[in-house]
Amino acid sequence: MAVEEVRCFLAEQKYVTAHGASGELLIPDTLKELERELGERFLRVHRNALVALSYVTGLRRGEDGSWQVELEGCAISPAVSRRHLAEVKQRLLAR
């Protein structure tokens, strides 16, 4: 899967999964390594999630007050942590 196809990276236990329109792929990198390598193209929204800015279509607030990122072409909506919410909103408005 090419990095241009990736909608988000999600970390679960010792694995990182790349989610794209064509499916999922387990990768050996950590989110910290991916964040450093991919720079401005991806945004940290939670300690376990990076999202591709070019595929973000919006933020959705749940009934419980939690926030999720909506991504074009992806059934997954990664959670946005309270710690990252202000930066996420700022980066999305600046696009």
DSSP letters spanning 5-46: GEEEEEEETTEEEEEETTEEEEES--HHHHHHHHGGGEEEEE
- Contact in structure between 10 and 51 (CB atoms under 8 Å): no
| pLDDT tens digits, 80-90 | 999 999 999 99
pLDDT at residue number 78: 96
- Confidence grade of residue 93 (pLDDT, cut at 50, 70, 90): confident
Helix (H) or strand (E) holding 69: strand 67-71
| pLDDT tens digits, 24-39 | 999 999 999 999 999 8
| pLDDT tens digits, 42-68 | 999 999 999 999 999 999 999 999 999
Greater model confidence, 39 or 73? 73
pLDDT at residue number 54: 95
pLDDT at residue number 94: 83
